[in-house]
Amino acid sequence: MKKLLNLSLMASLLLGGCGNPAERPVNTRQLTLSEMLVNSRIVDLSHDFSDETIYWVTAKEFDLEVVAAGQTEKGYYYAANNLTGAEHGGTHLDAPIHFAENKQTADQVPIENLVGLAIRIDITERASENVDYLVSVEDFTRWEETNGQIADGSIVLLHTGHARHYPDKVKYLGTDQRGSDAVQDLHFPGLSPEAAKWLVDNRNIKAIGIDTPSIDYGQSQYFESHVILLSQNIPAFENLTNLDQLPSKDFAVVALPMKIKGGSGAPLRIIALLDQ
């Protein structure tokens, strides 16, 4: 009960600046950030960005150009860089418009859909036996048999265990080749279209994430799971890591992408908050 109470308080605090003021919990004073997090353990679910960052085989890779790094004539140290790269690479957000015309862009995804209580669906055993494994409806119903029905407003994280191969492109993507010809060689787990449709039709989730390069599996030709989810303004988080450090439920997620106006996606810093 203590965990649930702390997580409920945490969620209220995190979302306290959103929504109708009349619906917000009444606080007698403003809490500090340290007070908000005092009973929480933070797990970083993000890969860093570097020359090892994995991008889709047709996307522009990350490049960091050093502009300055050293002592100035005036006696102080100064460092600055330029960076370039595609929206979709490393740990990132897929905004709904990525596969759904006229849906939300990266800057339009409500903060409320990026912050909230979350669950982890563990399919590591099945995915380890089949690199092209498709998360099924049965994986969700099996989780519910133990943990209860997926609550409205949940953020769903799919734990395939595939992040253990990052940043080895051959093991993680299926190939170290680049360009459109390399797409046919992609191999990694993903979410089946049937399971994506089941979520949309039967559950009310805020967002979904996975520890692979894509919500759709590597051999997908039509990206049906993307289309199904993003058409309902359900954003996706891809290339997550450290999902093995999370419980099955009763934790919170904060996913904050770069706010790119009109963007189809964006680099993402995502963390989980666990009750200690």
Domain containing residue 256: CATH number: 3.50.30.50
Token digits for 156?
């769903």
Amino acid letter, residue 205: I
Token digits for 44?
């970083």
Beta strand pairing call for 190-191 and 134-135: parallel
Domain range enclosing 257: 2-58+88-275
Determine the Cα angle at 269 with ends 253 and 23, to 5°: 40
Amino acid letter, residue 210: I
Residue 69 resides in a domain: no
With a cut of 70, list the residues of the chain below it in pLDDT.
Answer: 1-38
3-state SS class at 108:
coil
Cα–Cα distances (Å) from 185 to 134, 170, 175, 221, 223, in that order, read 17, 10, 6, 12, 16
Contact of 189 with 160, CB cutoff 8 Å: yes
Token digits for 194?
């049937």
DSSP H helical ranges for 130-192: 137-147, 169-172
The gap from C-alpha 243 to its chain's centroid, in whole angstroms, comes to: 11
**Mean pLDDT of all residues belonging to the chain:** 90
In angstroms, rounded to a whole number, what is the distance separating the alpha carbons of residues 269 and 222? Answer: 28
In angstroms, rounded to a whole number, what is the distance separating the alpha carbons of residues 166 and 238? Answer: 13
Beta strand pairing call for 265-275 and 92-94: antiparallel
Residue 64 resides in a domain: no
Residue 156 resides in a domain: yes
Residue 75 resides in a domain: no
Residue 63 resides in a domain: no
Token digits for 100?
């759904």
Contact of 166 with 172, CB cutoff 8 Å: yes
Domain count of the chain? 1
**Which residue, among 133, 149, 118, 130, has the nearest Cα to 245 in the 3D structure?**
118
Give the per-residue pLDDT at 40: 85
End-to-end Cα separation, the chain, in angstroms: 13
In angstroms, rounded to a whole number, what is the distance separating the alpha carbons of residues 235 and 220? Answer: 19
Contact of 260 with 106, CB cutoff 8 Å: yes
Q: What's the DSSP call for residue 33? A: H
Determine the Cα angle at 157 with ends 154 and 56, to 5°: 130
Residue 14 resides in a domain: yes
Residue 71 resides in a domain: no
Residue 122 resides in a domain: yes
